[in-house]
């Protein structure tokens, strides 16, 4: 009896994403020829610069046109292309378990059509893993809440995709969010420059989280922040006196949504705006995603924009 397909790997969605790729915007370090620029100079792909000839350099790399103009021997240096290591950092904290349920227990209008944040995040992680391995780039997975719960080192072989899919199917919402500790640890642990993709709802202490994101950039990693929000978090459609419970602390508060909606939406926009601005200043990417949008559509839209940029 054959094994059932992986839960988070939809062949139709992968077919729709198949023509897209995730290419590094900065230089990366790797060990295979691939899609991305390397900081190491060689004699292979794209011209980078000249340097003075030294005895022992291959004569075929001497720029004879430059010699004719300057009567000095210069060697052409080229910029090799290499593969990109990608780490998908998946937030599995308690708040990620949320899925558009009204306080009364009834489903919001249209709630059946969208995924909970954690399932949505797993689909995104699976799609990114598939794309990276398809373009022969190593990809790893880090599952965290207040600490690193699982770490799978990057690999690029097809069998590694099975390892990642098995791991994603076992992910469950855990404890309270505290990203700073795991992120600082990873920033020091990941030695070679890489693409860090963070999939999270960003419910955490703002100042410490932003400092941790800057730590990744300080270590020369490229950062992509995928900020997930449930449609009920974006629209706040509640209308009756309700009791809201914090999934991470258990704290409960009773409010009349009609009197707090405008202020809530204002603060939400301000919160998202701070991350968007901080990422722009640090040279990182920020992508806010409403989980009402199909994950392959949201990811495809971002990748298409990234490729055009």
Distant-in-sequence, close-in-space partners of 143: CB < 8 Å, separation ≥ 6: 90, 92, 149, 150, 167, 171
Confidence of residue 110 (pLDDT cuts 50, 70, 90): very low
Confidence of residue 160 (pLDDT cuts 50, 70, 90): very high
Whether 124 shows a pLDDT value over 70: the answer reads yes
Residue 3 or residue 64, greater confidence: 64
User: What is the SS3 string spanning the chain?
Assistant: CCCCCCCCCCHHHHHHHCCCCCCCCCCCCCCCCCCEEEEEEECCCEEEEEEECCCCCCHHHECHHHHHHHCCCEEEEEEEEECCCEEEEEECCHHHHCCCECCCCCECCCHHHCCCHHHHHHHHHHHHHHHHHHCCCCEEEEEECCCEEEEEEEECCHHHHHHHHHHHHCCCCCCCCCCHHHHHHHHHHCCCCCEEEEEECCCCCHHHHHHHHHHHHHCCCEEEEEEEECHHHHHCCCCCCEEEECCCCCCEEEECHHHHHHHHHHHHHHHHHHHHHHHHHHCCEEEEEECCCCHHHHHHHHHHHHHHC
Q: Looking at residues 44-57, what average pLDDT do you find?
A: 60
Calculate the average pLDDT of the chain.
83
Whether 153 shows a pLDDT value over 80: the answer reads yes
Whether 206 shows a pLDDT value over 80: the answer reads yes
Whether 51 shows a pLDDT value over 60: the answer reads yes
Lowest mean pLDDT among 58-62, 179-183, 255-259, 303-307: 58-62
Q: What pLDDT shows up at residue 66?
A: 79
Residue 283 or residue 42, greater confidence: 283
Whether 137 shows a pLDDT value over 50: the answer reads yes
Confidence of residue 96 (pLDDT cuts 50, 70, 90): very high
Q: Looking at residues 188-193, what average pLDDT do you find?
A: 90
Structural domains for the chain: 11-17+84-308 (3.40.50.410), 36-82 (no CATH)
- Of the spans 6-20, 87-101, 236-250, which averages the highest pLDDT? 87-101
């Amino acid at each position: 009896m054959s094994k059932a397909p992986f839960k988070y790997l939809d062949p139709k969605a992968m077919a729709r994403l198949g023509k897209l790729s995730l290419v590094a915007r900065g230089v990366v370090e790797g060990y295979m020829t691939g899609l991305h620029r390397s900081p190491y100079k060689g004699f292979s792909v794209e011209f980078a610069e000249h340097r003075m000839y030294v005895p022992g350099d291959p004569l075929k790399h001497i720029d004879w046109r430059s010699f004719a103009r300057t009567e000095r021997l210069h060697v052409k240096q080229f910029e090799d292309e290499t593969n990109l290591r990608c780490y998908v950092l998946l937030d599995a904290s308690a708040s990620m378990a949320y899925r558009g349920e009204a306080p009364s227990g009834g489903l919001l209008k249209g709630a059946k059509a969208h995924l909970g944040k954690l399932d949505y995040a797993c689909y995104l992680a699976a799609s990114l893993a598939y794309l990276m391995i398809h373009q022969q780039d190593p990809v790893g997975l880090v599952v965290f809440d207040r600490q690193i719960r699982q770490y799978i080192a990057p690999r690029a072989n097809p069998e590694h995709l099975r390892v990642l899919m098995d791991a994603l199917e076992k992910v469950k919402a855990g404890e309270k969010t505290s990203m700073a500790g795991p992120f600082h640890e990873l920033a020091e642990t990941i030695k070679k420059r890489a693409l860090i993709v963070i999939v999270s709802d960003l419910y955490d202490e703002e100042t410490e989280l932003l400092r941790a994101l800057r730590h990744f950039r300080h270590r020369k990693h490229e950062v992509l922040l995928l900020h997930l929000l449930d449609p009920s978090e974006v629209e706040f459609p509640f209308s009756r006196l309700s009791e809201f419970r914090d999934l991470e602390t258990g704290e409960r508060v009773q409010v009349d949504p009609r009197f707090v909606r405008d202020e809530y939406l204002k603060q939400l926009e301000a919160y998202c705006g701070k991350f968007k601005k901080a990422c722009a200043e640090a040279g990182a990417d920020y992508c806010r995603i409403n989980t009402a949008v199909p994950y392959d559509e949201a990811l495809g839209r971002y990748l298409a924009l990234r490729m055009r940029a």
